[in-house]
Structure formats: structure tokens, C-alpha cells
Amino acid sequence: MTPALPPARKRLGQHFLVDPNIVRKIVTLAELRPDETVFEIGPGRGILTRALCAEAKQVVAVELDVQLGEYLRETIGDCPNLDLRLGDALEFPYEELPEGTVVVANLPYYVSTPLLFKLLEARQKIDRMVLMLQTEVARRLVAQPGTEDYGILSVLTQYAAAAKLAFTVSANCFRPRPDVGSSVVSLALRRQPALVVQDEAWFVRTVRASFAHRRKTLANSLRDEGLTAEQIALALARAEIVPSRRAETLSIGEFATLSDALRSAAVDKGTA
């Protein structure tokens, strides 16, 4: 007998896909080979999981909701290539994944940004990702300098991956219907980053500090990094960036040059 469906918990971002065409489009976009491992965040009621298990060698799926975990065990738990884990994807030991893992997920929107940062951190293990996201977040991933959507997520994503907006998905394809738009993006992780930086930690720090106060000029935003106004001015001059510019106007290349220059300024001062 099929077990009763646990009620949807919106608090956990539970908007389940109910349209098999969208599931097919997502799986097609992932271009899975039979020797590949898939990592799925939030298998939910298993509609995508089932399709992934049919294409991949193994599917590692992590679900936070205990009741859904029990439901999945009873419905698709006997799938021989499914490795179902109960827990928080933010706490998952990503180092355990095999190299070349493909991430495919309809992400819980309430936690999608921290999950994206986690996945980018774990990118050594990941070959590519196909992700359903809130459209607003999807746009940020692919945004170009000088646009409102361009920010930390755009720079750190595009540094690590070639990102493409694949297609939008109607709210009618989910139950319950989400109040926001949904889009699927594909991310091909770069084996080598788009640009060379001396120190990635400094690059991330520079990008975060630059965007911390969007309305301020770069010279003012960077003050929080513990450098003096003179050191910031010197680093901006070395990077050939006018101090009155704002973070949203800088290309990823300019962030890379600036991060190297700031790091040198901090090393000179002994604070790196």
C-alpha cells in the first residue's frame, strides 16, 4: 500500500514539482552518463530522484524533513542506486562525494543562497550543476556588471563556473504553487578559474567587502577591511580603479586585480 503523503511544509521550501515534462527537461539538461554520480538536495516526494536514478550510476540525496525521509524510504528506498541521507544539506560532508559529481536539484528557496555558496566551496568535487531557483536568484547568478542584479553571488559564481539561464518554470508546475517565479540554471564548473588570483580567500573577502555597502564608493566600502585610507587608495591606484566607483561597476577581472593589490597592501602592513 502507498503510504500517506506528508503535508507540505512551506517553512522548508516545500513546493513539489508535479509536471513530468519539467522533470524531463531538467534531466535532459543535466546530460547524465550512466557512470556518473548525482547529488540531489531535497528529494522531497521523489519525482526528480526517480528520474535521476534511471539515468545515473548513483544518486546521493539529502533530505531535511524526517517525515519525507520515511515516505521516500517506503516508496523508492529499494532503488538500488539511491543513497538517501537524512539531514541538512548545509552540513553535508561534501568531501565524501566522488570527483565529477553532477548536482541536480530543485532547491528549497529559503536557503538557496547559502546552499549555492556551499556548493561553490565544494566545487573541486563537482563537474556541473542544474538547479531550479527562484528567478530573482537565478538572474543574480548570470548578471553582468552595471546591472541591479550584479552582486557577490554573480562574481563568485562566474569566477567558478560558466552560468546559463536555461528556462523558466510556471508556478502551475508545483504543488503548492510558489508565490515567486522559478527558473532553471546550468553551471559548468571551471577546471581552472576564469582568472588567476594570488589568494582566493582574499578575492572572496574583497568581493564581500566591496558589496557590503552598495551605495558607498569602493574607497569607503573597503574601509571595513582594516586597511588605512592611504593603503586602500594605493591599492586602487595599483589596480587602476577610480576610488569613486561602486562595486557593481567592476568586472570580475577588476575584482581579481583589486584583491591582489589589497592583499599586497595588507602584507606590507603585516595584517594579511
Asked whether position 106 contacts ligand SAM by CB under 6 A, the answer is yes
Spatial contact of 140 and 233, defined as CB atoms under 8 Å apart: no
| Alpha-helix residue ranges (DSSP H) falling in the chain | 20-30, 47-55, 66-76, 112-121, 135-142, 152-160, 200-211, 218-221, 229-238, 252-269
Asked whether position 43 contacts ligand SAM by CB under 6 A, the answer is yes
Least distance (Å) between residue 46 CB and ligand SAM: 7
Least distance (Å) between residue 170 CB and ligand SAM: 14
Spatial contact of 64 and 9, defined as CB atoms under 8 Å apart: no
- Of 32 and 41, the one with the shorter C-beta distance to ligand SAM is 41
- Of 180 and 242, the one with the shorter C-beta distance to ligand SAM is 180
Asked whether position 15 contacts ligand SAM by CB under 6 A, the answer is yes
**Across the strands, what pairs with 163?**
187
**Across the strands, what pairs with 40?**
61
Closest-by-Cβ residue to ligand SAM is: 42
- Of 115 and 261, the one with the shorter C-beta distance to ligand SAM is 115
Q: Out of 63, 225, 248, 260, point to the residue binding ligand SAM (CB under 6 A).
A: 63
Q: Out of 27, 51, 64, 103, point to the residue binding ligand SAM (CB under 6 A).
A: 64
Q: Out of 36, 39, 101, 108, point to the residue binding ligand SAM (CB under 6 A).
A: 108
Q: Comparing C-alpha atoms, which of 48, 30, 19 is closest to residue 169?
A: 19
Q: Out of 16, 39, 159, 203, point to the residue binding ligand SAM (CB under 6 A).
A: 16
Letter for the amino acid at 8?
A: A
Cell of 144: 553582468
Which residues of this chain interact with ligand SAM, rule CB under 6 A?
12-17, 41-45, 47-48, 62-65, 68, 88-90, 106, 108, 111
